[in-house]
Amino acid sequence: MKKITTLILACVAFAGVSQAQVKTPQPSPAATVKQTFGLGEVTVVYGDLVPFDKLWRTGANASTKISFTDDVKIDGQTLAAGDYSLFTIPGKAEWTVIINKDLKSGTADYKAENDALRFKVKPQALPYLVESFTIDASDVQANSLVMNISWEKTKVSFKVETDIDAKIMASIDKTLNPKPEANTYFAAASYYYESGKDMNQALSWVNKATEMNKDAFWMMHLKAKILKKMNDVNGAVAAANASKESAKKAGNDDYVALNDKLIAEITQPAAAPAKAPKKK
């Protein structure tokens, strides 16, 4: 890969015979990516420029820093929460990605014994040009995301995963005792619904939430979705209509529309796929 060269045009101001100090931007300006992930965050601070077929600190002016507020898994390997430096070895057929414990080291003083983990990924050819070296996060889920390293017409990606279920379950057990509020029941029911856990338990919690806060149209909407998942058509429609009426009184057009959409999904099953024409 070739290196990017930045041309800087600076305008210098003079006052009498005294010349002001010229301040210019770095040839490879730093960037920061911060993504909410699981119950915490992943943050990447990086620079620019790319050598090829040798160890690269994945940044021009300083080593790229990658931080995790929770323990994660990358390439099936466990990585403890903390701050790390990111190195790569770009190649035509594959890249080696290295997570190193030394935040201050560069390629000259890099030591493999400080590696927290390393793994290989296949580069992907892009159909478009990425002019500036970029690291970003995509496909962000409750317990996973994909980190992407892109430059010119090449992208490499790796998945980062975190186990939030145990923490959330422990939090639910703690907050439901001894006197939970409506929002606590709602949060617990929401997690069970989104995670596909016990719908009977989710329904029990959302019922308690709506009993404690009868005007909470968003809670009743969740109840409708839970009942839909449980295949209780009549109950789901009744809950959605109740949520819609409460939303109308509150002047919340968004939830009115959400409930109309949900009712349509419940009462109008998806059409069966078209059959392929018979061959003559």
Q: What is the pLDDT of residue 92?
A: 87
Ramachandran angles phi, psi of 153, nearest 5°: -115, 30
Token couple for 244: 């819609």
Q: What is the pLDDT of residue 24?
A: 33
What is the CATH number for 211? 1.25.40.10
Same domain, 42 and 134: yes
Q: What is the pLDDT of residue 273?
A: 55
Same domain, 35 and 102: yes
Q: Which of 161, 179, 204 is the last residue of a domain?
A: 161
Are 66 and 58 a contacting pair, CB within 8 Å? Answer: no
Taking only the tens place, the pLDDT of each residue in 35-75 is 776 777 778 776 655 566 788 887 665 678 999 999 999 98
Report which of 132, 191, 193 is spatially closest to residue 166, judged by C-alpha positions.
Answer: 191
Q: Is residue 82 part of a domain?
A: yes
Q: Which of 110, 133, 161 is the last residue of a domain?
A: 161
CA distances from 60 to 23, 40, 75, 224 (A): 19, 28, 26, 53
Same domain, 141 and 99: yes
Given a cut of 70, is residue 217 above it in pLDDT?
Answer: yes
What domain count does the chain have?
2
Are 77 and 117 a contacting pair, CB within 8 Å? Answer: yes
Same domain, 247 and 196: yes
Same domain, 155 and 190: no
Same domain, 179 and 154: no
Same domain, 232 and 138: no
Q: Is residue 35 part of a domain?
A: yes
Taking only the tens place, the pLDDT of each residue in 154-168 is 999 999 999 888 888
Res. 2 pLDDT band, cuts 50 70 90: very low
Q: Report the alpha-carbon distance of residue 200 to residue 192 in Å, rounded.
A: 10
Q: What stretch of H or E contains 157?
A: strand 144-161
Same domain, 37 and 149: yes
